Structure 1
Amino acid sequence: MEKTLKHSLYADLGLLAVALVWGSGFVASKSALDSMTPMMLMALRFSVAALLSGIIFRKNLKHLSKETIKAGCIIGFFLFSAFAAQMIGLQYILAGKQAFLTATNVIMVPFIYWAVKKKKPDLYNFIAAFIMLLGLALLTIDFSTGFSCNSGDVLTLLCAFLFACHIVVVGIFSKQHDPIALTVIQLAFAAIVSLVYVIVSGEFTVSVPVPGLLSGVYLGVFCTFLAFLGQNMAQKYTSSTHAAIILSLESVFGSTLSIILLGDVFTLAMFMGCIIIFIGIITAETKWSFLKIKQNNPEKIIEP
């Protein structure tokens, strides 16, 4: 029992660290964009992550089938597209604001899955979607200029949609292929496409200022490779619902760090929008099961 509690505590701390690192990624990305283009940042980030994962998990890449490579490339396409929309949009939006808008992908997932697998979302998903719309209105619409919405908001919402698609295809293909192999392939796909783009477009450069280079490496090592690895390891010792609650703090950390480190200024309406969106995320991810009366038997650890 003590060993289980110990593992659960370590899992919670690990997931909290992952949420913090992911939240800091918005700040690091915003800082890195001062010294390089969005696509160059993606090329750096995914190249670092792909090389690390390829070296460490090289045994999982032996005897790859064409089906696994194809599945990994499809997942990689959505990963690349989502990050491209996010990085380009980040040039026109506050990092903290983008953290909350990106997090709305968890509310979109059930509806995309409905379209693909014909499995209708439950009542909590519809309630979460309604809550999200209210929060989005407060967070993104500038009521002083007649309900205007800037390009950064639109691109970030597109990014959230693409991340939701990414989650859906990962859920489908990970049941048919080795998840680790799929991870390496999708990272490699995103790295290769990013590199090809910056080379063809002429954006490629090795003269990246040290601060930008460090931010890019940080994103590749910590926010991409180690964060995903840490999440997979931690979720082995906790329930999916419990993990979702902790990981949803990513948006809170992202906003808080952007205010502290970047000096982002939130209006009262934006702040209220963040709170409402967070409530929507919790509703979609947990269905408020943690408020239900627990049975006498302790909760069984659920592996994802």
Structure 2
Amino acid sequence: MEKNQKPLLIILAFFSIYVIWGSTYLLNKIAVNELPPFMLAATRFTVAGILIFIIAMMMGKSIAISWRQLKNTIIAGFLFLSFGNGVVVWALRFVDSGFAALEVSAQPLIVLVLMRILQGKKIQLMSIVGVILGLIGIYLLVSQKQILSQENSILGMSMIFLCMLSWAYGSIFVGKADLPRNHFVNTGYQMLMAGIMLAISSLLFNETWSSPWVWSSPVQLSVLLLIVFGSIVAFTSFNYLLKVVSPEKVATSTYVNPIIALVLGWYFLEEEVTLQSIMAAVVLLTGVYFINTKRKFMVFTRFFRS
């Protein structure tokens, strides 16, 4: 970790990706029930990207980047946002928000396997146990009759899995890619590039665009919160953490995200939380814990060592 990185800043960044991102499943679910998914995601990221650039310039930050950095932000924007998030929003039309978050919680398993395949990183015994538990948890989650009986639920689950692959590879790519040194500027470019790609996707899918002034109040509030907190605050924190801690540690946000999403979906949208879903959550998150548990950072406070 660089000497100028402050433990408090890292703690706040982890809070952002833990709690704020957990609430975005609810916000996206509310919005996508009224708005086309790619239009929704394009609006969110384009507006967020423009706002980030305005704030950066007001802070006196240069937004100039090299062609190589621009290319890398386009790749990262696609992996994380255009595909990784845009398709999740699309899939939320067919699955509950809490279920989607719980499925995504298996991401550390995907990160581990990809790091083994792409980087030759050895998988420790504890991680192997975690992978086995993770697979059992995923089976318990997706095998529920209540879920399989929903129309297009299998399609939604499959697309979310592909999004997990995209996010996992993106986490590894960003950790080593040449990107703008300023994390705020880096986020701005990724958001804007993703917004453009999602807008093109929306047009290709013949989605109907509408003015925010005709949206319902809950949708207007949801999109506003997604832009300010889900995009600007949390995603900037995510990019920052990928540069100062390992991808496996960043992936631990999946411990908290599904719990937040399950509770909010149950409370605000009356989504059903079955006993099997709870069992799946316990098994799956225990597996994620084993994947991320190593002697050198078993204690949480060691996340923030210099």
Length-normalised TM-score, structure 1:
0.82
Q: Is the 8 A contact 2:41 2:86 kept in 1?
A: yes
Alpha-carbon separation, structure 1, partners of 2:180 and 2:54: 20
My pick for the range that moved more, 200-209 or 157-166, is 200-209
Aligned counterpart for 1:285 among listed residues 292, 295, 299: 292
Q: Is the 8 A contact 1:29 1:215 kept in 2?
A: yes
RMSD: 3.4
Q: Is the 8 A contact 1:46 1:188 kept in 2?
A: yes
Alpha-carbon separation, structure 2, partners of 1:145 and 1:203: 29
Name the residue aligned to 1:90: 92
Alpha-carbon separation, structure 1, partners of 2:163 and 2:229: 21
Q: Is the 8 A contact 1:237 1:301 kept in 2?
A: no
What's the secondary structure of 1:252's corresponding residue? helix
Alpha-carbon separation, structure 2, partners of 1:77 and 1:20: 24
Name the residue aligned to 2:125: 123
Kindly provide the CA deviation profile for residues 158-195 of structure 1, in whole angstroms up to 9, marking residues without a partner as x. Answer: 22111111111111215x65363432221111111122
Once the two structures are TM-superposed, the CA of residue 238 in structure 1 deviates from its matched residue by 9.4
Q: Is the 8 A contact 2:140 2:280 kept in 1?
A: yes
Q: Is the 8 A contact 1:8 1:237 kept in 2?
A: no
Structural mapping, 1:189-204, within 5 Å: 189-200=193-204, 201-204=206-209
Q: Percent identity?
A: 23
Once the two structures are TM-superposed, the CA of residue 101 in structure 1 deviates from its matched residue by 0.8
Alpha-carbon separation, structure 2, partners of 1:42 and 1:119: 34
What's the secondary structure of 1:91's corresponding residue? coil
Q: Is the 8 A contact 1:28 1:219 kept in 2?
A: yes
- Answering whether residue 266 of structure 2 is matched by residue 259 of structure 1, we say yes
- Answering whether residue 226 of structure 2 is matched by residue 219 of structure 1, we say yes
- Answering whether residue 184 of structure 2 is matched by residue 185 of structure 1, we say no
Aligned counterpart for 1:271 among listed residues 266, 272, 278: 278
Once the two structures are TM-superposed, the CA of residue 133 in structure 1 deviates from its matched residue by 0.6
Alpha-carbon separation, structure 2, partners of 1:236 and 1:114: 20
Letter in 2 for 1:56: I
Letter in 2 for 1:125: S
Alpha-carbon separation, structure 1, partners of 2:20 and 2:302: 28
Name the residue aligned to 2:71: 70
Letter in 1 for 2:73: G
Q: Is the 8 A contact 2:105 2:254 kept in 1?
A: no
Letter in 1 for 2:54: I
Alpha-carbon separation, structure 2, partners of 1:291 and 1:14: 19
Alpha-carbon separation, structure 2, partners of 1:125 and 1:248: 16
Length-normalised TM-score, structure 2:
0.81
Kindly provide the CA deviation profile for residues 46-79 of structure 1, in whole angstroms up to 9, marking residues without a partner as x. Answer: 01221122222343422x2111111111111112
What's the secondary structure of 1:61's corresponding residue? coil
